[in-house]
Amino acid sequence: MTVDSLIDGEMAVWKIDYIYELFSQAAAKVILSLPLSLCGVENEIAIHALLECGWVRAVWESSEFDVLNKEAPNRESCAHWLVWIWERLDRTALRRYLVMVWALWYIRNARVFEGGIEEPNHDLVLMGFIRMVEVSSYRVEGRVLRTEQGRQLSDVWVQPHHGNVKNTDATIFDNGEVGLGVGVRNASGEVVMVGCRRVCGGWSSEVAEAKVMRFGLKLVRRGGWEELVLQSEAQGAVNAAKNRRISRNLFGLYISNIFSYVSLFSPCLFSHIKRGGNTLAHHAARLCLSANMETVYVENYSDAILVMAEIDLI
């Protein structure tokens, strides 16, 4: 027997008579005292719980899918809603969307049925689900990444032997603009700077990753640090920087620009890292909302930034 067998799916109410048949009067009263809606709406349907409930709506509004959800034409059927979403997202974005749906349903059920905390850290739960799926995808698809020496890369941020660590990531938006994200930690793992920039580019992902590495070096130098380990999940850019391999194209131009900053640090090391240990930089790349905008945070970090930084260490 499962919980959903005790609920009238069409009316979204408890099956009162059925519950009293199965349980003692005391147990039945406890079950019937549990709300089937967190916001008090009567006859709540699943699509309300996943899209329209107050706390859920706040989560969606802070995500990349807010506009898409508001454009969805049919909010009466979960099946029609999900098919409409499926037709408009590529495979990677669809996976992120469905993970959010899964996480929101998990949070909702934990609060209603399992005595979950009244106000869970939604960002932490969501990013935990997303990271779990992204890391699992590498294993399922046989893409376990390894360093040049054949050692398996860590799923989490790894403390360096010395100096500051700067993680970088780039995001290419649907309109061709590129988001550049940088997260800087000290040797103890504490966040000391977060930077983001959004530019009009239309570049390939390879060029974008080289550009964000250069952007990060400029930020760290501006902050006055002299020892540096630069970590990126872009293996091609990391290898080119480590091996001083310059190709005769735009990618090679940005790699050569990186070399002009290397001599300003002692030492300046480059390291490849998996997405699981690069969550903060990945989030930072999406912080700038308009083109030609640059923002740098050195204190008073938002809760979202602190959550992403913590997830890198889990």
Q: What is the pLDDT of residues 163-200, one digit of tens each?
A: 566 677 777 777 778 889 999 988 788 888 999 998 88
Q: Does residue 169 sit in the same domain as residue 299?
A: yes
Task: Compute and round to an integer the Cα radius of gyration of the chain.
Answer: 23
Q: Does residue 122 sit in the same domain as residue 222?
A: no
Q: What domain count does the chain have?
A: 2
Domain assignment of residue 209, given as a range: 164-311
The pLDDT of residue 133 is 56
Q: Does residue 193 sit in the same domain as residue 263?
A: yes
The pLDDT of residue 182 is 92
CA pseudo-torsion sign 295, 299, 301, 307: positive
Contact 120, 86 (CB under 8 A): no
Structure tokens at 26: 């005391």
Q: Does residue 193 sit in the same domain as residue 307?
A: yes
Structure tokens at 99: 């993970």
**Residue 169 domain-assigned?**
yes
Q: Does residue 108 sit in the same domain as residue 200?
A: no
**152 - beta bridge partners?**
146
The pLDDT of residue 161 is 56
Structure tokens at 50: 């996943």
Q: Does residue 281 sit in the same domain as residue 170?
A: yes
Q: How far apart are CA 112 and CA 108, in angstroms?
A: 6
**Residue 159 domain-assigned?**
no
**Residue 154 domain-assigned?**
no
Q: Does residue 7 sit in the same domain as residue 132?
A: yes
Low-confidence residues in the chain, pLDDT < 70:
1-4, 9-13, 34-45, 74-76, 111-166, 291, 314
Q: Does residue 127 sit in the same domain as residue 196?
A: no
Q: Does residue 173 sit in the same domain as residue 304?
A: yes
The residue length of the chain stands at 314
Q: Does residue 229 sit in the same domain as residue 267?
A: yes
Cis omega (within 30 of 0) on the bond before 160? no
The pLDDT of residue 195 is 92
